[in-house]
Amino acid sequence: MSVPLDLAAVEAHARSLGASLPGGSVVWLEGPMGAGKTTFARALLAGRGVTEPGASPSYAIVHHHAGPRGDAYHLDCWRLRAPDEAADLDWETLLAADLLLIEWPERAGAYAPVPTHRLQLIPVDADHRRVVGG
């Protein structure tokens, strides 16, 4: 989207995307700290039918969510100090899921699977974001 969206519109966009993604989607969420990646991920998961509230996986790195279409995983690779640390993640299980969301995928290096959808959140001001990609 090329126009700045208020936070409610960003969440609505994420919910719509979550409802429409095909099974097996790998979504990269990119953008600077505070851009709204985790908020976008929560709304996307809700659009996917996940009823438990999504939490930032910053401390656990991986959060599992059971949804009506299958398992969804939300990774936040921010805490990886080097790409080799991503080798310890259970990529086989993660890639078999209905949905895999990855924040900070560049920190996982070559371990991060190729995305089916790549989204960049760009802060415009405190209340507006641009969502680029799809």
Phi, psi (deg, nearest 5) at residue 19: -70, -25
Residue 73 has a pLDDT of 94
Cβ within 8 Å of residue 15, ≥6 positions away: 43, 44, 46, 47
Residue 36 has a pLDDT of 86
pTM: 0.89
Taking alpha carbons only, the member of 39, 34, 31 closest to residue 10 is 39
Residues in the chain predicted with pLDDT less than 50, given as ranges, are 57
Structural domains of the chain, with CATH: 5-133 (3.40.50.300)
| 40-69 pLDDT per residue, tens | 999 999 999 998 765 554 567 888 999 899
